[in-house]
Structure 1
Amino acid sequence: MKKVLSISTAIVVTSILAGAAVTNGESSKVKLTDIDTHWGKAAIENAVVKGYVDGFEDMSFRPDNQVTKAEFIKMIAVAIGLKNGDAGIGSWYAPYVQSMKDAGILWGTFSSSNMNEPIKRSEMAAVSVHAVDINSKATMLEATSMGLIQGKSNGDLDEEGVTTRAESVTIVERVLSKRKGQPLPVDQAAVAAAEIASTGTNMKSMVGLTPTDSLGKWFPIAQGVKVKFEKVIIIDPMKPDPNFNLIDLALKPPFVKLEDTYVIATQIRVLVDSTADKTGNFYTMQTIGLLDSEGTVRAVNKFPGLVKYDKPAEYIGWISNYHLKSPMATGKIAYAIYDTQIDLGIHK
Structure 2
Amino acid sequence: MKKILISVLTVLTVIVGSLNSAVAETAQDNTVDKAMESRETAAVQFTDIQGHWAQAAIQDAVQRGYVDGYPDRRFLPNQQVSRAEFIKMAVSALKLEAASTSSGSWYAPYVTAAESAGIYKAGDYADGNLTQRMTREEMSKLAVKALGYKNVEDKQWMYLASKDGIISGTAPGVISPTGATTRAQAIAVIERLLQVKGGKELPVDKYAVAAAEVYWHKTNIFSVAPEIFNGPDNHNKTGINSWKVSNLKFSGKDGTTIQVEELLAIDWNDPRDPNRIILPSKNKLSYRTYNGDWVKFSDDLKCYVVVVKARIVINKNPKGYPISDRVNLQIHGYNGVPTGNSLIVPSVIQSNDSSKNIFGLVIPKEKFSTDGSIRVSIESISAGAPIISQVLSRSILIK
Q: Which band: TM-score by shorter chain?
A: 0.7 to 0.9
SS at match of 1:175: helix
1:298 offset after TM fit, Å?
4.5
SS at match of 2:376: strand
TM-score normalized with structure 2 length: 0.68
- For residues 58-98 of structure 1, the C-alpha deviation after alignment (integer angstroms, 9 at most, x for no partner) is 22211111111111111100000111123312111111111
- Per the alignment, residue 123 of structure 1 pairs with 138
1:292 correspondence with 2:334: yes
> Is the contact between residue 62 and residue 165 of structure 1 (CA under 8 Å) also seen in structure 2?
yes
SS at match of 2:359: strand
Q: State the distance in 2 between where 1:322 and 1:169 align.
A: 42
Identity, % of aligned pairs? 29
- Per the alignment, residue 62 of structure 2 pairs with 48
1:346 correspondence with 2:390: no
1:271 counterpart letter in structure 2: V
Structure 1 pair 343/259, CA: closer, same or farther in 2 (3 Å)? same
> Is the contact between residue 77 and residue 183 of structure 2 (CA under 8 Å) also seen in structure 1?
yes
Q: State the distance in 2 between where 1:259 and 1:166 align.
A: 42
> Is the contact between residue 82 and residue 130 of structure 2 (CA under 8 Å) also seen in structure 1?
yes
> Is the contact between residue 162 and residue 212 of structure 2 (CA under 8 Å) also seen in structure 1?
yes
SS at match of 1:122: helix
SS at match of 2:131: coil
Q: State the distance in 2 between where 1:279 and 1:292 align.
A: 30
- Per the alignment, residue 33 of structure 2 pairs with none
> Is the contact between residue 307 and residue 361 of structure 2 (CA under 8 Å) also seen in structure 1?
yes
- Per the alignment, residue 183 of structure 1 pairs with 201
**Match 2:365 to one of 313, 325, 343:** 325
- For residues 182-240 of structure 1, the C-alpha deviation after alignment (integer angstroms, 9 at most, x for no partner) is 111111111111111222211111212125457403142x8453334342110124344
1:104 offset after TM fit, Å?
1.3
1:270 correspondence with 2:312: yes
2:198 counterpart letter in structure 1: K
1:155 correspondence with 2:173: yes
Q: State the distance in 2 between where 1:28 and 1:85 align.
A: 27
1:174 counterpart letter in structure 2: R
SS at match of 1:301: strand
1:335 offset after TM fit, Å?
4.1
**Match 1:207 to one of 212, 225, 235:** 225
Q: State the distance in 2 between where 1:224 and 1:82 align.
A: 54
> Is the contact between residue 349 and residue 360 of structure 2 (CA under 8 Å) also seen in structure 1?
no
- For residues 2-55 of structure 1, the C-alpha deviation after alignment (integer angstroms, 9 at most, x for no partner) is xxxxxxxxxxxxxxxxxxxxxxx9896532222121111110000000000001
1:116 counterpart letter in structure 2: T
Structure 1 pair 166/302, CA: closer, same or farther in 2 (3 Å)? closer
Which moved further from structure 2: 251-260 or 32-41? 251-260
Q: State the distance in 1 between where 2:89 and 2:69 align.
A: 13
CA RMSD in angstroms, aligned pairs only: 3.3
TM-score normalized with structure 1 length: 0.77
- Per the alignment, residue 76 of structure 1 pairs with 90
Q: State the distance in 1 between where 2:78 and 2:160 align.
A: 26
Q: State the distance in 2 between where 1:341 and 1:299 align.
A: 18
- Per the alignment, residue 314 of structure 1 pairs with none
Q: State the distance in 2 between where 1:216 and 1:342 align.
A: 8
Q: Which has the higher contact order (CA 8 A, sep 6+)?
A: 1
- Per the alignment, residue 20 of structure 1 pairs with none
Q: For structure 1, list consecutive stretches of 5 or more residues without a partner in the other structure.
A: 1-24, 305-316
1:169 correspondence with 2:180: no
- Map 1:26-105 to 2 at 5 A: 29=41, 30-31=43-44, 32-105=46-119
Q: State the distance in 1 between where 2:346 and 2:219 align.
A: 23
> Is the contact between residue 120 and residue 162 of structure 1 (CA under 8 Å) also seen in structure 2?
yes
**Match 1:261 to one of 303, 314, 320:** 303
**Match 2:250 to one of 206, 218, 222:** 218
2:193 counterpart letter in structure 1: V
SS at match of 2:97: coil
- Per the alignment, residue 285 of structure 2 pairs with 251
Structure 1 pair 268/166, CA: closer, same or farther in 2 (3 Å)? same
Which moved further from structure 2: 67-76 or 223-232? 223-232
2:162 counterpart letter in structure 1: T
> Higher Cα Rg: structure 1 or 2?
2
Q: State the distance in 2 between where 1:213 and 1:262 align.
A: 19
Structure 1 pair 218/87, CA: closer, same or farther in 2 (3 Å)? same
1:301 correspondence with 2:341: no
